[in-house]
Structure formats: structure tokens, C-alpha cells
Amino acid sequence: MSVDFTHDRPPVCSAASRYERRAVAGLALALAAVLSGCANVRSATAELPALPQMPPLLSNANTPVRNALAYHETIRGLNTAELARERSALSGAGNAPLAQMKQAMLLSHPQGNNNLQRAQSLLEAINGSEKADAVALQPLARLLAEQLQERVRLENTAERLTQQLERTGQQLKDAQKQSDQLQEKLDALTEIERTLPARPSTPTPPLPSSRERRNDK
């Protein structure tokens, strides 16, 4: 007698099917979580404030600054005569901010006849003006004014040190002169002493003899 045990165990195909359904469901959940995370990231990114755009250092609107920098590059290698001609050419340029900036650059040029106080006055006029060209030039004017102020300070310090050295040098000259005068006096005294006649030597009295000593007694 044969016994059929097939009804006591589940079919293989049915178990595999259930496994596949579970795997697909797990993948679906994982994909949903990933998509949800991406959506949250995009949402958080969208909520961030936009970074402000930094204006370029030299935009098209900064034409006076460009012109001033180009002019500074032009006069940087000029000699004294060329700088004098350039100052003469700018003498009738008026009080336009760019003209004042150029004049300040010329007056503070190391190779020219410096007039730093006049250059500082021109830069102060630019910094105190409300004209559009002056406002555009004010950052450069402040920078040049700070440099001129430092140059003036260094020049004043150098002048004080020079005066101190001159005073010290004069004191050394006076001391050397006094030393020479004293030496001359000593030499003169030595010469006078050398020319004086020698003093006559005083004769030494003879010692008394023994008889004279007895007689004295």
C-alpha cells in the first residue's frame, strides 16, 4: 500500500513566489526612502538664502579708477623733466576728481619735486566730494592718502635723526677743537720750559774735620 505525502508539504513554486514578493516590497520601500531623502535635500537646498553676488573690483562703472590706475602706470617710469612737463600739462585741468587724482600722483612721485602736503589736500578734496567720479575714486584716494601719511611720518623721523646726527657731529668737532687747543697750550709750555736758562747749582759746604769738631766741643 503506497502513501502520498505531497499534501503535507507546500509546493516549491509557492514558497519562491512569496520570497520574490517580499524582496520586491523591500526594494520598493528602500527606493521610497531614497526618493524621500532626495526630496528633503532639494527642499532644504531651496530654502537656503541665495548668496549675494560680489561686484567685480573693476566694473565698467569704475572708469575713473581704471583711468587713474592707467595714469599711475604711465608716469611711474618718468624722469624729473618729463614729470615737470606732465605737471604743466595738468595745470589747467581744473578741479575734476580725476584731474585732482592725477595731480596728487604727480606731486607724490618719488622722482619729482615732491609736495606731499598739496597732494594730501587734493586727496582730501576727493574724499569729501559727493560727485559720482569722486565717489568712485574715494577708495583709491583713501589708500593713497594713507601711504602719503606714512611717507610724511617717515620723512619727519629721518629729518629728526639727521638733525640729531648733525648736532652730535658738531659737538664732536667742538670737543676735538678744545682738545687741540689744550694740546697747543701744553706744547707751548713745554717749549717755554725748554728755553729757560738752567739754574746755577748751589755748592755744597765741606764737612768739618775731626779737629774742628773737637774744638767746637
Question: pLDDT per residue over 137-168, tens digit each?
Answer: 999 999 999 999 999 899 899 999 999 999 99
pLDDT confidence of residue 94: 80
In sequence order, the 6+-apart residues with CB closer than 8 A to the CB of 142 are 123, 127
DSSP H/E element including 31: helix 12-47
Burial code (b: 16+ CB inside 10 Å, e: under 16) for 24-40 equals: eeeeeeeeeeeeeeeee
Please, which pLDDT band fits residue 196 given cuts at 50, 70 and 90? Answer: confident
Is 80 exceeded by the pLDDT of residue 13? no
Band of residue 57 on the pLDDT scale cut at 50, 70, 90: very low
175-196 mean pLDDT? 88
10, pLDDT greater than 50: no
How many Å apart are CA 177 and CA 188, to the nearest integer?
Answer: 17
